[in-house]
Amino acid sequence: MILYVCTTCTSDGSFVETVRKGLPELDVKAVDCMSGCTRAQTVAFRAPGKVAYLFGDITAADLPNLRTFADLYVTSPDGTFADARVLDDLRTKALARIPA
């Protein structure tokens, strides 16, 4: 599983370092624009054979919820969840769920 962080959403691309420091257990990759500009800061989770998720309006305050999401995502066989309420506030920050 990879957590992609847009570097275009912040003028200096610094948010990726915030995520790396806050979630050191994840494979965090910096990526140019993910076209979530209207809801910057964007991040995306992707794993082989699983749906991908794109989230926007992410701040450092969301790091605990991103960790919870990552734990659930890695254990889900296909990346989906029977009940989205486990995602807490991330439910309202989801921009897309992309089929595997």
Q: What is the pLDDT of residues 2-48, one digit of tens each?
A: 999 999 988 788 999 999 999 999 999 999 999 998 999 999 999 99
Ordered domains of the chain (ranges, CATH): 2-98 (3.40.30)
Residues found in the chain: 100
Between CA 21 and CA 54 the distance in angstroms is 20
**Cα-flanking dihedrals φ and ψ of residue 38, to 5°?**
-75, -15
pTM: 0.94
- With vertex at residue 8, the alpha carbon angle to CA 90 and CA 49, rounded to the nearest 5 degrees, is 50
